């Protein structure tokens, strides 16, 4: 009798377990958003001091729930200054790192007397943003663009207004995705510089192109959602190093430009830049960030499948940004 009772109870436990597993709901899908906010400035060379152009590209990516609350957030800043001489010759820089990538080498503790380095303060702000709506996040900016007491007490004492501007764009631009609260949100930022000397009848150039790649990863490190964007800032100057760059003109990312970017109208393309980028993002689904490189051919364009899907732009920036989160 005891043996039969044990068998019965065992069957009952198995049934109950299967019922629980069968009724377990999947984690709700979240929206993923990417926001890029850029400020620029430029000065002329004067014979003693080189001219310079500065581009500060603040990037935010977020996962947002159905109530409009941020579930997770990642931030970074590509803050690059290029120089050019009074002879109209640009200086070339290599290995341009973001503030987050610089880590302790950013030296906010050593030279600024801060309690935390920049990356630690960015992490602190990301923690404060989690669980808040856009309106609540916008209210985190206080006097002199510093954070409120909540932000400062969390360990973020730097100015946060540009963080908020980027987060606002990310939330506003958020789209449906397969990401969930269990997904790991990652952000990669890659900047490349190209230069040209000034000539008598042609300005010199120092162009900064910053490409960003945001992805949500599953437990196996594979991409379940991805977004990308790119910002180009071309600083111009004459043969005497005088700046000819209009720093009053707003800098808009390629994704934010949407159809006004003009790839169809002026380049004869079948798709606009943002549509081509989305095609590439879709091709990344199911791959690890490092495997994204397999989507690129030797000429820095997409492979045959990527081209056939409608992405005919250069993809090396996407790949290099994706590799940073791998």
Residue carrying the six token digits 């290995």: 95
d(C-alpha 158, C-alpha 180), whole Å: 30
Q: Which residues of the chain have pLDDT under 50?
A: 1-9, 11-24
Outline where DSSP puts E strands in the chain: 31-43, 51-64, 70-84, 175-176, 184-196, 204-217, 223-237
Predicted local distance difference test score (pLDDT) of residue 25: 64
pLDDT in tens, 265-308: 988 899 999 999 999 999 999 999 999 999 999 999 999 999 99
Run of H or E including 274: helix 273-284
pLDDT in tens, 68-110: 999 999 999 999 999 999 999 999 998 899 999 999 999 999 9
pTM greater than the 0.85 cutoff: yes
Closest C-alpha among 277, 69, 29, 282 to residue 177: 29
Closest C-alpha among 112, 216, 128 to residue 164: 128
CA 291 to each of CA 98, 179, 225: distance values in angstroms, whole numbers, following the listed order: 23, 19, 15
Q: How distant is the alpha carbon of residue 101 from its chain centre?
A: 13
Question: Taken in order 258, 261, 267, 268, is the CA torsion positive or negative?
Answer: positive
d(C-alpha 25, C-alpha 15), whole Å: 18
Task: Return the structure tokens found at 214.
Answer: 């945001």
Predicted local distance difference test score (pLDDT) of residue 22: 46
Domain ranges in the chain are 25-251
Buried b (16+ CB within 10 A) or exposed e, 251-269: bebbbbeeeebebeeeeeb
Angle between the N-to-C axes of helices 273-284 and 316-323, in degrees from 0 to 180, rounded to the nearest 10: 40
Task: Return the structure tokens found at 18.
Answer: 């299967």
């Amino acid at each position: 009798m005891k043996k039969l009772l044990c068998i019965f109870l065992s069957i009952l436990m198995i049934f109950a377990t299967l019922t629980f597993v069968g009724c377990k709901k999947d984690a709700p899908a979240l929206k993923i958003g990417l926001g890029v906010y850029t400020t620029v400035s430029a000065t002329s060379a004067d014979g003693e001091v080189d001219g310079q152009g500065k581009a500060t590209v603040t990037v935010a990516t977020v996962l947002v729930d159905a109530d409009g609350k941020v579930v997770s957030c990642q931030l970074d800043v590509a803050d690059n200054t290029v120089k050019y001489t009074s002879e109209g010759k640009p200086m070339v820089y290599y290995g341009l790192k973001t503030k987050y990538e610089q880590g302790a080498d950013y030296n906010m503790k050593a030279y600024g007397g801060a309690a935390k380095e920049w990356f630690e303060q960015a992490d602190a702000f990301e923690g404060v943003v989690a669980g808040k709506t856009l309106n609540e996040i916008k209210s985190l900016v206080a006097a002199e663009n510093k954070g409120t007491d909540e932000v400062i007490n969390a360990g973020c004492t730097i100015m946060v207004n540009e963080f908020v501007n980027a987060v606002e764009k990310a939330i506003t631009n958020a789209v449906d995705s397969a990401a969930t609260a269990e997904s790991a949100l990652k952000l990669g930022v890659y900047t490349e510089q190209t230069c040209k000397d000034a000539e008598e009848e042609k300005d010199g150039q120092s162009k900064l192109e910053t490409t960003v790649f945001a992805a949500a990863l599953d437990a196996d490190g594979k991409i379940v959602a991805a977004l990308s964007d790119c910002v180009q800032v071309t600083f111009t100057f004459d043969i005497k190093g005088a700046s000819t760059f209009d720093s009053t003109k707003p800098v808009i990312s390629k994704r934010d430009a949407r159809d006004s970017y003009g790839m169809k109208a002026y380049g004869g393309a079948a798709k606009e830049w943002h549509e081509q980028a989305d095609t590439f993002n879709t091709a990344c689904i199911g791959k690890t960030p490092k495997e994204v490189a397999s989507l690129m051919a030797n000429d820095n364009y997409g492979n045959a499948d990527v081209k056939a899907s409608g992405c005919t732009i250069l993809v090396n920036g996407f790949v290099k940004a994706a590799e940073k989160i791998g």
